[in-house]
Structure 1
């Protein structure tokens, strides 16, 4: 994926758990995200590559997972980074990058970025990772004790 995508924004959530637990939750979340994207009916319109909308393009154990993709109206990258927070907490950062070429790309950017839908979606992702860190995987997910 193009490493020169323009920066969009960063969102951060504090998780009161050690990095190992947060990393496990982040991996489960990204795996789930990749699976659920394949069933999203909106993707028929967008025509994403890969089909799930994202592919893992970088994984640095307990530090970073980068997801990249493209569709008819944009090229994008979402980078989750883990850093140490105060009091043994872990901070989960979500860095977003994207290019929106042409008139259709500009309209798409206005719909997704301009309306703050992107902020809502990214915040939802971060909260999901935090919740999974606290509750752990469900009974049918790997890693359940």
Structure 2
């Protein structure tokens, strides 16, 4: 599956949060969070705008698309859109277990909160900069 397959996947849900940081900082935090995420591969990446991840297993083909929209006063609206198909009877059971129970929504909201909290604290910016030089005090 690649980026061209994403629009054909049925919409599942979308969750959003507003982050007290600019899109560049949010993008870095999102990258840190998703670095090494198993089950996903990057389908598209438009820094500061959109990150689309796709995956597939016997019960589902899915995409998780993060949209970053500039908001007022240096804030960013971060949205996580899920699209997926659940083929066959086993897929239907899997959908009930993952989506209908609210487990998927809880995990996505937790991911958004983590990006929001870390970006708002400036962790993404700090991670990209070397530590300030230590000044020696003489008395």
Inter-partner Cα distance in structure 1 for 2:71 and 2:128: 25
Q: Which structure has the bigger radius of gyration? A: 2
Aligned length, in residue pairs: 124
By how many angstroms is 1:144 displaced? 5.2
Q: Which runs of 4+ in 1 moved over 3 A?
A: none
Alpha-carbon displacement from aligned partner over 1:38-95 (angstroms, at most 9, x marks no partner): xxxxxxxxxxxxxx20001100011010110011210000000100123321010000
Structure 1, unpaired ranges of 5+: 35-51
Inter-partner Cα distance in structure 1 for 2:15 and 2:86: 20
Q: What's 1:12 paired with? A: 16
Structure 2 length normalisation: TM-score?
0.83
Q: What's 2:51 paired with? A: 65
Q: What's 1:47 paired with? A: none
By how many angstroms is 1:103 displaced? 0.3
By how many angstroms is 1:123 displaced? 0.2
> 2:121 aligned with 1:117, yes or no?
no
| Secondary structure class of the residue paired with 1:88 | coil
| Secondary structure class of the residue paired with 1:121 | helix
> 2:105 aligned with 1:101, yes or no?
no
Structure 2, unpaired ranges of 5+: 131-139
By how many angstroms is 1:99 displaced? 0.2
